[in-house]
């Protein structure tokens, strides 16, 4: 039997998985469960199946279905290890780690800093342990890639003792950025220069890179900061939280739910959807405004990254919205003309990879991300 590594990537509303040969990390199988919390769907081998679970079911139910499915689908493979995306590594984890009870305990302590992700990451680890109890499992941290940032990029303007305790800008989506960094030389040469990468999905962020290393990023201490997202507000005046609690009489938990689960595309669209596909298909003006605000906020963050990088050589779009929503890419590029980038409309509609005109000073690219490949490689290295 072929020895294989199983990779789980549990997001806020999805679970991606990949199966890779242990010997060379070549892809053997892959799939995706998305729309978890509404009508969960499984996509694999060109087919889509609605999961036989309640529409409001959460990650635990989706993972239980998935492990049953995988035992049948992978019956000709020997699973020898598993790798997981874990969103927050805090100060303890600057690289991937073999999962032990002590590692689990540390990951759990960081759950309040990534409540939309960390519990799902832990659920994935538990789900695989229940089925394959004897295999090693590896945690690969989204925050690790950003530890190359200079100190000033990590600091908040808060009392020094809080910074010393670890209240810092950690940044997220690091596994995605790690993969994109590995692909940049193919498109931009060995010295890839100053690149702004937009990871646009249900969660969204921007990373400014110099020669493949993180210099600045939009997310901060938690995954709430920065860009407008599916249900998260992104950058927000802290006074809004004080107003909700002090003047609107909300509890901390209620205020947190507002900015983490009822805002973003969902909130601005008036509850139509947090999914860019649904909003693009809607003729409601609120849906159109949500899309416009999403693009506007991305343009503002691009300006911030351009300043941190002291110039821009390329802009890269990746992840679900970045790879598939040509209309969103077009709006963002239109707002970045001052940087010297002009959209090639035909190339953008066809998905690139180069979506800027030949005379653009700044090149625009669409590069599909592959977080699962990075996890598989880091897992293989550790085991």
One DSSP character per residue, 35-85 reads: -TTSS-EEEETTEEEE-SS-TT--HHHHHHHHHHHHHHHTTTEEEEEEEEE
Structure tokens at 108: 């759990």
Long-range Cβ contact pairs of 330-336 (< 8 A, separation 24 or more): 331/291, 331/292, 331/295, 332/198, 332/295, 332/298, 332/299, 332/302, 333/364, 335/295, 335/296, 335/298, 335/299, 335/302, 336/299, 336/302, 336/362
Give strand ranges (E) for 281-322.
314-318
The pair phi, psi for residue 197, each rounded to 5°, is -110, 130
Residue of 24, 68, 142, 247 marked active site: 142
Antiparallel, parallel or unpaired: β 41-44 and 47-50:
antiparallel
Which residue, among 60, 58, 39, 59, has the nearest Cα to 49 in the 3D structure? 39
Q: Tokens standing for 343?
A: 């959209």
d(CA 304, CA 11): 26
**DSSP structure class, residue 343:** B
In angstroms, the CA 292 to CA 335 distance is 11
Whether 142 is catalytic:
yes
CA distance 62 to 42: 9
Q: Which of 50, 47, 56 is nearest to 13 (CA)?
A: 56
Q: Would you please indicate which residues are annotated as catalytic (active-site) residues?
A: 142
């Amino acid at each position: 039997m072929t020895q294989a590594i199983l990779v789980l990537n549990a997001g806020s509303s999805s679970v991606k998985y990949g199966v890779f040969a242990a010997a060379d990390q070549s892809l053997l199988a892959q799939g995706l469960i998305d729309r978890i919390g509404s009508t969960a769907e499984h996509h694999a081998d060109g087919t889509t199946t609605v999961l036989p679970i309640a529409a409001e079911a959460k990650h635990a139910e989706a993972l239980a279905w998935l492990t049953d499915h995988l035992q049948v689908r992978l019956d000709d493979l020997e699973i020898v290890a598993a790798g997981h995306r874990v969103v927050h590594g805090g100060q303890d984890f600057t690289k991937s780690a073999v999962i032990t009870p002590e590692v689990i305990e540390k990951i759990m302590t960081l759950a309040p800093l990534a409540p939309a992700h960390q519990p799902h990451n832990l659920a994935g680890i538990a789900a695989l342990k229940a089925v394959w109890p004897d295999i090693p499992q590896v945690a690969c941290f989204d925050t690790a890639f950003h530890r190359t940032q200079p100190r000033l990029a990590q600091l908040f303007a808060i009392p020094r003792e809080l910074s010393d305790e670890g209240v810092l800008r950690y940044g997220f989506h690091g596994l995605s950025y790690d993969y994109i960094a590995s692909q940049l030389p193919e498109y931009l040469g060995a010295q890839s220069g100053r690149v702004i990468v937009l990871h646009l999905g249900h969660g969204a962020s921007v990373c400014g890179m110099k020669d493949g290393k993180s210099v600045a990023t939009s997310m901060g201490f938690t995954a709430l900061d920065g860009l407008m997202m599916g249900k998260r507000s992104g950058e927000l005046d802290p006074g809004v939280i004080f107003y909700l609690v002090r003047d609107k009489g909300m509890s901390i938990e209620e205020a947190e739910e507002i900015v983490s689960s009822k805002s973003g595309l969902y909130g601005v669209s008036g509850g139509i959807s947090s999914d860019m596909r649904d909003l693009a298909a809607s003729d409601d003006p609120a849906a159109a405004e949500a899309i416009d605000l999403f693009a506007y906020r991305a343009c503002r963050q691009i300006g911030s990254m351009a300043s941190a990088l002291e110039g821009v050589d390329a802009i890269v779009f990746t992840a679900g919205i970045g790879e598939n929503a040509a209309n969103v890419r077009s709006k963002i590029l239109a707002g970045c003309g001052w940087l010297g980038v002009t959209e090639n409309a035909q190339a953008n509609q066809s998905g690139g990879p180069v979506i800027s005109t030949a005379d653009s000073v700044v090149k625009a690219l669409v590069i599909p991300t592959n977080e699962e490949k990075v996890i598989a490689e880091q897992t293989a290295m550790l085991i």
